[in-house]
Chain A
Amino acid sequence: MLDWLRFILTTGFLISGLIILLTSVIGLYKFDYVLNRMHAAAMGDTLGILFCLIGLTISAPDIWVALKLLLIIAFLWFASPVSSHLIARLEVTINPHWQQLPPKENAGEEEAP
């Protein structure tokens, strides 16, 4: 019974994490603008990986493995938002028109150059 519960929880967490990662990958390729793409990538890096690692933590055979996985979660939650913040700050620094909507010329170029 407990094994089954563990299996179901693990599968649920892993699948939801993978769905979030897939969403973030699609967003990364669909969006045009840096900040939108950064948002999509950061979502996968934090929430998707959090769900995947929680699933692995539940299925861990050993308490020490589970603690190590929790440490990895803590590390990723430190590192990934900081890198997203740096990308966003770089974009805001170098692009004076970042508050306007991005120009549509990229979409037109691909269809009829």
Chain B
Amino acid sequence: MSKRRSDWESRPQARFRKWYKEGFLALDNEIIDHLTRTTELPENIEDRLIAQQEEMTSRQHERTLALERLDQYNMLAWARTRGRKAISRLYVILALALGAMMIFFLLETVALMPRFGDPATPGANIVSERYITKGLEETGATNIVAGMILDYRAFDTLGESTVLFIAASAVLILLRIDRNKDGSPVQELIAAESDDRHYEPRNDRILQGSAMILTPIIFLYGIYIILNGHLSPGGGFSGGAIISAGLILYLDAFGFDKAGRFFTYKTFTWVSFFSLSFYALAKAYSFYCGANNLPSGIPLGTPGAILSGGLIMPLNIAVGMVVACTMYIFYALFRKGGL
């Protein structure tokens, strides 16, 4: 019999029930505790009242106080025991219902989606057909996505880069701590500098050693992704993010003093300014020529070669520089309020 019982208890269903009920065991104990206490408290007080008649008035006062407290306790008792139990049950049920609902809706959405490569979808219209058939010929980029975002829809990408630049400027306005007019640091800046990495390991040899090896490799990889953006997946945004990760690693390992030697506000300003203005001017020239049916004079090169794709590679470089500077300056501003 006991073996059968233990067999039943080791079943997953029984174990799930045990797990589900164990959470309420403590609450059950609390309810029992509460019920026993309410019966004992007034009886004790009444016994003492009978025994000591001369202290009647003070005892009476005590008793009323105790009863008041008891009333208050009883008033909140539901919320303390049964209410909490109901709410925790409700949480479990709601969590399960929400999870089931999410799963149901996601599966429903997947089931309603068109088959992969279906020609009858609204997305497969004349525009995407033109991208696929004539993209290589018109843009010179083997990576069709690069050809799309930096040639057909270059205006959109300019907007994205500008949004990044504006976000960085807004964060700069909000978080930057200025110095005094004579160049001496204000109190806030001193506090921020002493607070920066108050507890963190400051000059960690292991981190510095690995950063010395890893940072150049990360930079090289980011540059490769940017320069190869028109040939393989990648491009300015992802390459710029990788370069900024390398910059942040260097900053973490060696601190603001060493990172400030090559990256200051001036660097940020000029790099962003030149990248964005180059982007805007180059694309304005290209749009102007395209709209008026003029020859733009930009050679497309042989598809697949590194120097091909017309303006795509320089535009990738510009976008990558803006992204790298923006992400790095975000990190520096949120950490210390300055470079």
Contacts and interface: CB of A to CB of B under 8 A. Distances in A.
Interface string A25-46: 0000000000000000000000
A79 B210 contact: yes
Contacts of A90: 199-201
A19 interface: no
A86 B210 CA distance: 12
A89 B214 contact: no
A86 B199 contact: no
B213 interface: yes
A71 to B, nearest CB: 9
Contact of B207 (A75, A86, A112): A86
B26 A111 contact: yes
Contacts of B30: 112
A85 B209 CA distance: 13
Contact of B214 (A78, A85, A111): A78
Contacts of A79: 210, 214
Interface residues of B, number: 15
Nearest to B22: A111
Contacts, number: 31
Interface string B80-93: 00000000000000
B137 interface: no
A29 B217 CA distance: 34
A88 B178 CA distance: 35
Contacts of A94: 199
Interface string B140-152: 0000000000000
Contacts of A82: 206-207, 210
Contacts of B204: 85-86, 89
Contacts of A106: none
Interface residues of A, number: 12
A100 interface: no
A99 interface: no
A89 B26 CA distance: 38
B29 interface: yes
A55 to B, nearest CB: 23
A85 B207 CA distance: 9
B201 A89 contact: yes
Nearest to A95: B199
B201 A86 contact: yes
Interface string A59-82: 000000000000000010011001
Given A85-B206, A86-B204, A112 B199 contact: no
Contact of A78 (B27, B199, B213): B213
B201 A78 contact: no
Contacts of A112: 26-27, 29-30
Contacts of A93: 199-201
Contacts of A78: 210, 213-214
A1 to B, nearest CB: 34
Interface string B50-83: 0000000000000000000000000000000000
A111 B88 CA distance: 12
B232 to A, nearest CB: 12
Interface string B184-223: 0000000000000001110010110010011001000000
A75 B199 contact: no
Contacts of B201: 86, 89-90, 93
A93 B30 CA distance: 41
B214 A75 contact: yes
Contacts of B29: 112
A9 to B, nearest CB: 29
24 contacts: A75-B214, A75-B217, A78-B210, A79-B210, A79-B214, A82-B206, A82-B207, A82-B210, A85-B204, A86-B201, A86-B204, A86-B207, A89-B201, A89-B204, A90-B199, A90-B200, A93-B199, A93-B201, A94-B199, A111-B25, A111-B26, A112-B26, A112-B27, A112-B30
Interface of A: 75, 78-79, 82, 85-86, 89-90, 93-94, 111-112
Given A79-B214, A112-B29, 5 more contacts: A75-B217, A79-B210, A86-B201, A94-B199, A111-B26
Instruction: Please name the 5 residue pairs, one residue from A and one from B, whose CB atoms are nearest each other, closest first.
Output: A112-B26, A94-B199, A82-B210, A89-B201, A111-B26
